[in-house]
Structure 1
Amino acid sequence: MSLETLAGTRVLVTGAGGLIGSRLTAQLRRIGARPVSVCKIDAYPRRVYHDHFKILLDDLDFHVGDIAEPGMVHALISGCDYVVHAAALADVAACTRQPLDAIKANVIGTQRVLEAAAATPSVRRVVFVSSASVYGNQDPPPGGFAEFTEDAPLRPLSVYGSTKAWGEFQTAAVLGEAGISYAIARYFSVYGEPQIIKENSHSWVVAWFCMRAALGLPLHLHGGGRQVRDLVHVDDIATGTLHALIAPAAHNQTVNIGTGVGTTIREVAELVRLQYPDITVDDTPLPPGDPQGGYACTRRMGEVLGWRPGITVAEGIARYAAWLKNTPEAIPSWLRQPAAARP
């Protein structure tokens, strides 16, 4: 089904100020839909939202607020045809350090969205944004990488993964009872310009490596860089999510959004070194909750959504490096000062 069918519809997007949410709303506008946006706008300095994510805080359809607060979602969802629930505390390390914050954002916030959607007759479908972190670790075949299918048992290793698994079950329970169509989109490793790293985080490896490389800092391979990731460019993530919003076959389905290609962190480092040839690579300890990973089985995605990602990892990393070279001010000051002393 063509995404143009979204033209003229009203779509509530939670977490609309972030990398993914801002891409979703931009694409919705290009299609001719009207996104209604909500985000706390507290993860970065405000200039990051304006300068890099292109968020206009004076837009009448952009609302700064916390979806976990009573009444917030109910006040925005009236008249909406669709909902993309992308708001979350998505930093694995931050969720581990602050589990109560993760519960508020990812559990209570999700419950508020589901309750509001269940009570709104105009809503045709809700997409709950989940994560490959719900899979945890699986044994790979000899000499290969683990492939994650949607029917695999959920074995999250982190607070973040656990909250996403809960959100999946609760989406099915609440919206199934209300008779509202839903789809669960399990994102694999999202990357792409203008992703901005966060201090004390080990997520978003492409952005971390490129920003460190731009400052002449070594690239750290946690656990030797043997972990495997299915890296999906944010443009493909946004397009896949919108297909999940409207594809008839996605009704009440759980769908991986991935490329079906596994890339080790060491291979990511080598692709970054093509853009920054003088950079060195160091082995460092593996952080807690960091899964060995694998890649998405994309069979159901192709069948249900009738779509596949189109941006390769090599192309996406080259695009990010080119953006960073043209936008060096995107590198956070805490990474620069003093650059040589940063971990």
Structure 2
Amino acid sequence: MKVLVTGGTGFIGRWVVKKLLDDHHDVWILDNLANSKKTNINEFKSHIHLKSFIQGDIKDEKTLEELFQRVQFDICYHLAASINVQDSIDDPKTTFENDVTGTFNVLEQCKRNDVKIVFMSTCMVYDRAIKPSGISELDMVKPASPYAGSKIAAENMVLSYYYSYGLPVVVVRPFNTYGPFQKTGGEGGVVAIFINNKLDGKLLSIYGDGKQTRDLLYVEDCADFVVTAGYLDKANGHIINAGTGKDISINDLAMLVSKNPAAIKHIPHIHPQSEIQKLLCNYSKAKELLDWEPKISLEDGIKRTEEWIKFTKEPSNKEN
């Protein structure tokens, strides 16, 4: 197939690109590099199936129109977005423009050119998990941040194109994804930040009491899920979760990473109103519809992530 990946140089995006290339599809990447870097795809730059990297913005209708006119895509994996919850509270306008208006622009091109779209949403649209089985796609959503609100709005717009125009669409909601190529600074995920701080001999800072839980999904499992959702027609029109079905408190995660209680400190939450206290995924729909299950355990995923972060810290690599 001919595949467009928006946000393809981002953390999850580059793994989606890798999976598509491994499956021998021709891939085009569109990314404005606002939240990523082109070096994330250096591994693929000579790959026969990576056709083009376009530095461009999904808010630029002309760039999108020219790209869709030049290439008759079979499918678009739409991952480009503002993804930081705290930033969305401080600057909701930017998040809305990227996540809602940008998604509308991509949708319009997909409709005009009859291109299936897989829309990357998030578990942050949900309210806290109450049932022992975890959060299913039928559970309540709660826009606790402008990020969550923008993703819910974009999801509804995507699904409206399925019902109004018959456009093949899938909405995917991965739970908290971590792994190699995730940022290790303020905009990164908790696993990457904890590992990086441990390696640097810094304290692992936890917002609030640390009792909040997360269902942590390794990035290659996430990419496999996202790509598979695009392959199967029976997923069209559906919202689908992906996670491990196991959650861990941030306190326990910090101990798993550091093995040292003295290296952990608690700090006041910047935006406590946006915190979801319990995130636990029920991925039974993904298993039934896509025959998908996670393969990498949290312990193995943390080990792989730490090895990658260590490698990127090597002096010889810093100079390159």
How far has the Cα of 1:26 moved from its partner? 1.5
2:258 maps to 273
Secondary structure of 2:121's counterpart equals strand
Say whether residues 1:136 and 2:119 are aligned partners.
no
**C-alpha contact 2:162 2:237 (8 A) present in aligned 1:** no
Distance 1:60-1:249 versus aligned 2 partners, 3 A rule: closer
Structure 1 CA distance for aligned equivalents of residues 277 and 289 of structure 2: 28
Distance 1:220-1:258 versus aligned 2 partners, 3 A rule: same
Structure 2 CA distance for aligned equivalents of residues 227 and 57 of structure 1: 43
Structure 2 CA distance for aligned equivalents of residues 152 and 33 of structure 1: 35
Deviates more, 1:316-325 or 1:229-238: 316-325
Secondary structure of 2:22's counterpart equals helix
Say whether residues 1:193 and 2:184 are aligned partners.
no
Listed as ranges, the matches of 1:1-343 within 5 Å are 9-44=1-36, 46=37, 49-50=38-39, 54=43, 56=45, 61-77=52-68, 78-121=71-114, 123=115, 125-138=116-129, 140=130, 147-199=134-186, 201=187, 204-274=189-259, 280-288=263-271, 289-328=274-313
TM-score (norm 2): 0.90
Structure 2 CA distance for aligned equivalents of residues 52 and 264 of structure 1: 33
TM-score (norm 1): 0.84
**C-alpha contact 1:135 1:154 (8 A) present in aligned 2:** yes
RMSD (CA atoms): 2.3
1:5 maps to none
Structure 1 CA distance for aligned equivalents of residues 261 and 255 of structure 2: 11
Secondary structure of 1:67's counterpart equals coil
How far has the Cα of 1:268 moved from its partner? 1.2
Question: Which consecutive unaligned segments of at least 5 residues does structure 2 have?
Answer: none
Equivalent pairs: percent with the same residue?
27
**C-alpha contact 1:213 1:279 (8 A) present in aligned 2:** no
Distance 1:52-1:183 versus aligned 2 partners, 3 A rule: closer
Distance 1:24-1:291 versus aligned 2 partners, 3 A rule: same
**C-alpha contact 1:19 1:53 (8 A) present in aligned 2:** no
Poorly superposed stretches of 4+, deviation over 4 Å: 51-60
Distance 1:197-1:66 versus aligned 2 partners, 3 A rule: same
Paired letter, 1:87: A
Question: Which consecutive unaligned segments of at least 5 residues does structure 1 have?
Answer: 1-8, 334-343
Distance 1:272-1:279 versus aligned 2 partners, 3 A rule: farther
Cα deviation, 1:180-201, whole Å, max 9, x if unaligned, reads 11111001101001211343x4
Secondary structure of 1:79's counterpart equals coil
Structure 1 CA distance for aligned equivalents of residues 133 and 258 of structure 2: 26
